[in-house]
Structure 1
């Protein structure tokens, strides 16, 4: 009788037309130590947020022990609210792209084509002798050679020294803005423009999160692999993992599945994003192939990518990375800093994502060594090796930095996932 109930629960959650052929295996919550009643709190929370018109729609996915135990779609995919959100809806995942780029770099490391301590200038000669801003004005800057080499590890850990922080009117930031990196036609031009700009601090001395370093990693992959960045990702990651809905653009036949981008109106309720805020649905997010934030994906596709990492680099016979490389990726690489933290006082940074160092200091449930990141339009993922857990939240909402912005859902989402664990 218990088996029959479990089968009926799975059928209700993952019935015909609600999954994708390449998704992870599906199974009942209770068999994997998760309380259906407790996880129901997550469902009600997301439903309530959408009912209050703070968000248009969402997809949540929870996997444990390599099995999807909960995969839900809520609300609507389109601003007119005529099309329900689907579990295979496509989202712009922005900075969740960075973890994919890091994996691409590490595949090249495993092939002996590069090393983390290699100077970037070994492969991109324009970066062989970076200059450091040493004073003066934007009109008459004083520059000196950097004492530290700029390495691949610096790019992966957001410690290269690029002027991506501080006051916009600071001379070094003015010089950086004049580089107009976002106008680059491709990654080759992006790298060439970046190489002409001075560093704000010595490589390796400070953590400053930004996309610039990861864009340069995309160009590094192109040069070392000898092929366009998108082609390499498809060949080495997406195709082996059957991530058929992940890429820098979306085929015309699938664009009806893209979730609409929203912002908030002055009344605090969800509103369609203004024209021009993001490119037309399905088109490239940038002229160049942005390894920092350019990918589209689905919850199902990204779950396969995350599960591959949780498995130690393999999934369904596809070997993307070795186990020890994944272990290295998920360790804190900021231990040389004082304090040895990155995004927060409780978190360090690995190769492509944050690493939880102190759950109590962060103030919400989790595990030491938990790894993950988020995207600018409210997409989130976490990988918890201790709990053998993957959790993903997909929304499509760009905050405006105003009091009318809705509350961010990352913290309550993770709280509600973890409170559901009973074994």
Structure 2
């Protein structure tokens, strides 16, 4: 674990709002394809730049059993995103002089003075460096086998099992630690945790669909959580809604992608809506840096740090029974992506990462690219864009400014099979020069009909057709087992 105070500066620029709006339809199509290919019950997504909401979409269903379509109004349990809300509330109290980062648990909570956590500081609780046990020795409330701990049970865990390590010995993620922070907020403010964060954090941003706990009123629009596919039939089991008791400060929040992106947008530098930049920098800066599964991870105060390409982001993930969520914000530019899924195997992390990658690829400054050849216009490039299919799979030709890229929308990440292509003329592209197994250096010719529509392209000499054309071709000749109906050709 490292406690370096050096904060790497992002090197990517602020994307153009106009360019983001131009590429939003493709971002939506890529997401829809990912949800379909990964067989996710539902996903709700928001992309924001500063105060501007660029994309807000929902894909799939809110409940597999009923088939109810998912909408952007449905509420998700965003679980450990709660820690970021709690961190903001705590740092507000620090700014007001009502709490100090060096205050210990014993300084604030008399009932905790005889626990192993007595000398753990506020800062260490915020950054998971206090050595606090994660959930206790019996945490089957995560299996919904029993209720989440109340205040008395939280104190009992702290008393009997509170410390796994000495403070600052290791980064150790802890829901119990954030539960203690929630108790400290209540003690300092003299009000309930939910009441305080609602007035101090949610109300200033106008977040009316976001709650520190899933209330009875919110249940009417709450999505249904789903397990992983089980057994030979690969059926998913639905997951009941439960309260989170004294761990609301760690995992209780419920929200929508739109509102969650609004909250995280307020954590960008210069926002000034919830905290000063001084406090925001404290949140953003890594308190711990470590390697997890070969990937470098950092954690600040209530925020996970992740560098995607050259863009440094902070944000948080959330895992609740039946729901997986992820939000990322570039604190320098205010770019926010938020992905909420209603299954325990929901790919929220990879979808959020993919969105950031697509934004960076498709908003790249055209100055880094060649000028269009004489006689070739952006309209010519638009004519070539679209989804093309062959027996080998799918390829999307996508425009970002005066640039085109080819990518496979079904791979886990958009960069997995991405190739830059340059216009040679109005109907021919050339794949960039690079080492690889694909079409490096080769031309990609497009055949255009009399009405100016693409009817075929060739990549490494292999034909691909516009999606509807290909489906009609294969539908007419696709073999099928006796007794089965032949696939219906696309119209």
TM-score between both structures, scaled by the size of structure 2: 0.63
Summarize deviations over 1:397-419 as a string: whole Å, max 9, x none.
Answer: 1139xxxx999544334333433
- Structure holding more strand per residue: 2
In 1, the alpha carbon distance for the partners of 2:196 and 2:181 equals 13
The alpha carbon displacement at 1:151 in A equals: 0.7
Greater length-normalized contact order (CA 8 Å, ≥ 6 residues apart)? 1
In 1, the alpha carbon distance for the partners of 2:218 and 2:229 equals 29
In 1, the alpha carbon distance for the partners of 2:185 and 2:196 equals 8
2:20 aligned residue: 34
1:373 pairs, out of 309, 316, 319, with 316
2:219 aligned residue: 255
Pick the structure with greater CA Rg.
2
**Change in CA separation of 1:253 and 1:213 when aligned onto 2, cut-off 3 Å:** closer
Does the CA contact (< 8 Å) of 2:75 and 2:222 recur in 1? yes
In 2, the alpha carbon distance for the partners of 1:189 and 1:40 equals 49
In 2, the alpha carbon distance for the partners of 1:407 and 1:183 equals 28
The alpha carbon displacement at 1:54 in A equals: 1.5
Give the gaps of 5 or more residues in structure 2: 1-14, 366-491
Name the count of aligned residue pairs.
343
In 1, the alpha carbon distance for the partners of 2:259 and 2:16 equals 24
Does the CA contact (< 8 Å) of 1:382 and 1:392 recur in 2? yes
Aligned: 1:124 with 2:109: yes
The alpha carbon displacement at 1:333 in A equals: 1.5
1:291 pairs, out of 230, 241, 249, with 249
Does the CA contact (< 8 Å) of 1:179 and 1:194 recur in 2? no
In 2, the alpha carbon distance for the partners of 1:328 and 1:268 equals 49
The alpha carbon displacement at 1:313 in A equals: 5.0
In 1, the alpha carbon distance for the partners of 2:162 and 2:217 equals 44
In 1, the alpha carbon distance for the partners of 2:215 and 2:147 equals 24
> Matched residue of 1:288: which SS?
helix
> Matched residue of 1:374: which SS?
strand
> Matched residue of 2:185: which SS?
helix
1:12 aligned residue: none
| 1:23-172 mapped onto 2 (5 Å cutoff) | 31-34=17-20, 36-37=22-23, 39-52=24-37, 54-80=39-65, 82-128=67-113, 130-131=115-116, 149-164=119-134
Aligned: 1:323 with 2:273: no
2:334 aligned residue: 388
2:447 aligned residue: none
> Matched residue of 1:80: which SS?
coil
The alpha carbon displacement at 1:161 in A equals: 1.2
2:301 aligned residue: 351
> Matched residue of 2:62: which SS?
coil
2:409 aligned residue: none
In 2, the alpha carbon distance for the partners of 1:49 and 1:85 equals 16
> Matched residue of 1:33: which SS?
helix
The alpha carbon displacement at 1:196 in A equals: 3.2
**Change in CA separation of 1:31 and 1:384 when aligned onto 2, cut-off 3 Å:** closer
Give the gaps of 5 or more residues in structure 1: 1-28, 133-145, 166-175, 335-339
Summarize deviations over 1:27-79 as a string: whole Å, max 9, x none.
Answer: xx964432734x44432332223334621121111111321111112122222
The alpha carbon displacement at 1:121 in A equals: 0.8
